[in-house]
Structure 1
Amino acid sequence: MSALNQSGDSDSSEKTRIVIIGGEAAGMSAAAKARRAAKNATIVVFEQSDVISFGACGLPYYVGDFFSDAKEMSEFTPEQFAARGVDVRIRHQVLNIDTDQQVVHARNLETGETVQQSYDQLMIATGAEPIVPPVTGLAELLNNNRTFCVKTMNDGLRLKEVISSPEIKDVVVIGAGYIGLEMAEALIRQKKTVRLIENAPLPLAATFDSEVAELVMGALTADGMQCHWQELVQAVSETGDKRLQISTDKGDYSADLIVLCTGVKPNTRFIQSLDLEFMPNGAIVTDSQGRTRIPNIFAAGDCATVVHGQLKKPVWIPLATYANKMGRLIGEVMAGSDKAFPGAYGAACVKVLGLEAGRVGLSEKEALEANLDYQTVVIKDKDHTSYYPGQSDILVKLVYETGSKKLLGGQIAGGRGAVLRVDAIAAAIKGGLTTDDLGMMDFCYAPPFSRTWDVLNVAGNVAR
């Protein structure tokens, strides 16, 4: 194994050949770290699009005019990485991987030429692709500039251009997950009439418990959005007046535009023939170093699993935080380090029309599925003192072990600043703390920020 230099990076003296498939968060984090850690390595990145280091999380905010320069969503360019000694080949589609000969076969989409690249270490970081549900007429309409997925830079550029037209007034958003809710807010900000259709009974049903999801639902309806819960879209079609008709199991609706936010799936179809271990949805199963079961092949980002810090098993959580962290770690491991990822705790958050919601650790649903002996406590309080302007409601739910009272998870919803309290719960879970510890935790107090007993203190003290 390579020795570490004074900066903590490994310094490989061999001419290691590192190939990375995918040039977004995980792939470019790995390339950057590997370049620093293994200064003699050759590093080649294949990226199918012409954009690298792209963060799709910014798309709703770009569409909603929270910022105007789309380039801010792409942190680095291929030229900048080339200056560092990383060979980034944009517009190259990987066709297959010969794991016996350790060769990647790719096609240059500009010239049609097929190229081969040998590797000593290979990383798959191909991200995820939108799920297009089997709705009659939907797939045929995706390229007509009236029906959009929201995943790539080009998706955002096209959608923003289209909605700038005054002819686009009524928009249907299908799906009430993170992106669906953020897109709904962005479109309201653009003065559109928004109808939200979701098959589940509540928004964010896959990740939040009902106490928080109900508050999110209330925030949506309070702002005048037309929301349809437990409603299944069955068909979409164009009408003679350049409008779209959306037919569900409960009714028909007309719109000028559809935004499809029905989730994503790992982009791994091109490697399904490899002897990798896959989850049912196609995610590549990896260990705490990002290794797959094929020697010298790693995977990270939305196409792969991470190891859960509490459940101690691979889980699929497609978030940018894990893509960046696992990418950085794999870059070090490919350069000779023996570091391992300490575990994911499912920390996630969203802002919905003035309401913030965040979660970390195990939800009650997850604790139940894991057959844990647990208790919960739900507290409704205020975020700061009543005599300082702007006081708002805040809700905290804790999940904790019966008997030991060890914290297992937490969810929070409230006004500005509510989500930041989730970070304190994350640290408490990681540290193995109990609700009693949380009840006496030394949190900052001043009238603009908290009460003398912060809501987290109160929740910890009420837990029995």
Structure 2
Amino acid sequence: MEIVIIGGIAAGMSAAAKAARTNKEAKVTVIEKEQYVSFGACGLPYYLGNQFEDEQEMFARTPEQMRASGINLLLGHEVTAIDFTSKTLTIIDLETNEHLVKSYDRLMLATGATPIVPPIPGIHSDNVYTVTKPERVMTLKEELVNYQHIVVIGGGFIGIEVADQLALQGKKVTVIESDSVIMGGPFDPEFSEKIMEAVREEGVLIQTQERAQEFVAAQSNVISVKTDKGEYPADAVIVAVGFRPNTKFLDGQLEMLGNGAIVIDEFGETSIKEVYAAGDCATINHRLAGTMYIPLATVANKMGRIVGTNIAVNRDERMAYVGALGSSAIKAGAYEAASTGLTEKQAKSLGLSVKTTCIETNNHSNYYTVQEKITIKLVYDAQTYVLYGAQLFGKNETVLRLTGLATAVHAGLTTKELGFIDYAYAPPFASTWEAINVAANTAK
């Protein structure tokens, strides 16, 4: 069996490794445009912030290690077209410009996504960066000594993480966000406001409901950013306004969402039999909301492993993915925030009848040192009390509590059950009534 995987970063290499282990008789080939595999881009903001120095920490496996495990790698190669009827790929060697054709029995699409680069005048200047690939971020890191005023376009995960890390290095950072709040996807407005204040405490200027209109450049370098409301000095600009799935080369041959994300089922299979997809180029099944586009590394790796099994076995042996919850977390200055399941606004947009509770409680017993407050919001069914989602904000020991809440949402527990779950207690870690219990018992 000839298994071909297009893309070798997160989902693709997870699938390749699993497929090779699952079916020893199969020939597994990975085609990747870059000269590396298994790269964890989530580490880039923290590499930029000097939280670690060795960039190799962001690579889970080397090409040599993958080849040693029996996987055939075609690095520096790009698939430009697919004929799904004849099961053939048209490939170009990016170094030699040579074209070749390769056939497959089963195919996986793991082409990832590309950062959106809006058509703003001056955006192609030398000192405008995106934070997705190691080479570009290494250049930015080397040049930071020459940059004092840095403008970040976008208040999502990457924009806020980068802004936070640069502020810790004493840079004067301005974040421009077109929405009324930052982090408006995974959080309801009251939590977005808390995150925004936490980042502002680090000295970051955050301008919401504002759009960049021009990157004013001189000699191929941006010197200021003009918006619809003002102008900000800039020694460098970081663009982080979202991602677009790398699926344009498929020419609409598969079922896709409007943004180009390939629609897959619970097995990872696309609308074409024996063609699978996963990662940032594909949708995922959300346990509560159905088909969604959730470009998160956790989802990519899990679905990659599922596809790695299914692409290598008989159809009746395939395993289904249990479904995602969009669980995510972010560090904002001295604070932590996390979200799982549905936010209140998401639940209402789905037509669900929900109630919410939002409380502030302590992280552990008051007689133990460094007690901190944790804010917890629960979203639950107005009639059945089944938990649909949760959000948290606080300092030390906040985000890890999301593990218990994500499990509760996944299992369909009610707030009444959650209020009496027997969580571990000791004064350094919790109160006799764990913070999660306290929040759940306020649900009325």
User: TM-score range with shorter-chain normalisation?
Assistant: over 0.9
Kept after mapping to 1: 8 A contact 2:201/2:333? no
Shift of 1:239: 3.7
Q: Contact conserved, 1:407 with 1:428, CA < 8 A, in 2?
A: yes
Matches within 5 A, 1:48-447: 48-138=33-123, 140-141=124-125, 144=126, 146-163=127-144, 165=145, 167-239=146-218, 244-274=223-253, 276-311=254-289, 313-336=290-313, 337-447=317-427
Q: 1:439 is matched by which residue type in structure 2?
A: G
Give the Cα separation in 1 of the matches to 2:400 and 2:111.
31
Measured after TM superposition, the shift of residue 134 of structure 1 is 2.6
Q: Tell me, in whole angstroms, the C-alpha distance in 2 between the residues paired with 1:418 and 1:333.
A: 36
Q: Which moved more, 1:339-348 or 1:425-434?
A: 425-434
Aligned to 1:9: none
Contact 1:409 1:429 in 2 (8 A): yes
- 1:294-332 deviation line (CA, Å, top 9, x unaligned): 121100000000111123x21110001111111111111
Q: For residues 33-77 of structure 1, what are the alpha-carbon distances to aligned partners after superposition, in whole Å with 9 as ceiling and x for unaligned?
A: 000011011111110011100011000011111011111111111
What do the CA deviations read for 1:13-48 (whole angstroms, capped 9, x no partner)? xxx100000000100000000000110111111100
Report deviation, 1:156. Answer: 1.8
Instruction: Tell me how far 1:229 sits from its aligned partner.
Output: 1.2
User: What's the offset of the Cα at 1:389?
Assistant: 1.9
Tell me the C-alpha RMSD between the 2 structures: 1.3
Report the AA paired with residue 280 of structure 1: G
Cα deviations across residues 409-433 of structure 1 (Å, max 9, x unaligned)?
A: 1011111220111111111112221
DSSP 3-state at the match of 1:420: helix
Alpha-carbon deviations, 1:352-396, whole Å to 9, x = none?
A: 112111111111011101101110000011212222222212100
Alpha-carbon distance between aligned partners in 1 of 2:200 and 2:52, rounded to the nearest angstrom: 26
Q: What SS does the corresponding residue of 1:123 show, helix, strand or coil?
A: strand
Query: CA 1:380–1:294 in 2, change beyond 3 Å: closer, same or farther?
Result: same
**AA aligned opposite 1:417:** E
**One-letter amino acid matched to 1:32:** A
More displaced stretch, 235-244 vs 65-74: 235-244
TM-score, normalised on structure 2?
0.97
1:242: how far off?
5.7
Gaps of 5+ in 1: 1-15
Q: Which moved more, 1:283-292 or 1:227-236?
A: 227-236
Q: Is the 8 A contact 2:77 2:91 kept in 1?
A: yes
Q: Distance in 2 between matches of 1:84 and 1:240?
A: 49
Secondary structure at 1:214 match in 2: helix
Q: 1:350–1:356: 8 Å Cα contact kept in structure 2?
A: yes
1:435/1:43 Cα in 2 relative to 1: closer, same or farther (>3 Å)?
same
Decide whether aligned partners of structure 1 residues 293 and 461 sit closer, same or farther in structure 2, where only a CA change above 3 A counts: same
Is the contact between residue 20 and residue 27 of structure 1 (CA under 8 Å) also seen in structure 2?
Answer: yes
Aligned to 1:12: none
Q: Kindly indicate whether the alpha-carbon contact (under 8 Å) linking 2:167 and 2:202 is maintained by their aligned counterparts in 1.
A: no
Residues 168 and 202, structure 2, Cα contact 8 Å, conserved in 1: no
Structure 1 segments, 4+ long, off by >3 Å, are 239-243
Note if 1:18 corresponds to 2:27: no
Q: What is the CA distance between 1:252 and its match in structure 2?
A: 0.8
Residue deviations 1:107-127 (CA, integer Å, cap 9, x gap): 111111112111000000000
The answer (yes or no) to whether the contact 1:239–1:245 under 8 Å persists in 2 is no
Give the Cα separation in 2 of the matches to 1:364 and 1:226.
28
CA displacement 1:133-189 (0-9 Å, x = unmatched):
232222x32xx1x110111121221111111x2x21111111110111110112122
Q: Letter of the aligned partner of 2:25 in structure 1?
A: N
Any conservation in 1 of the 2:128–2:222 contact (CA below 8 Å)? Answer: no
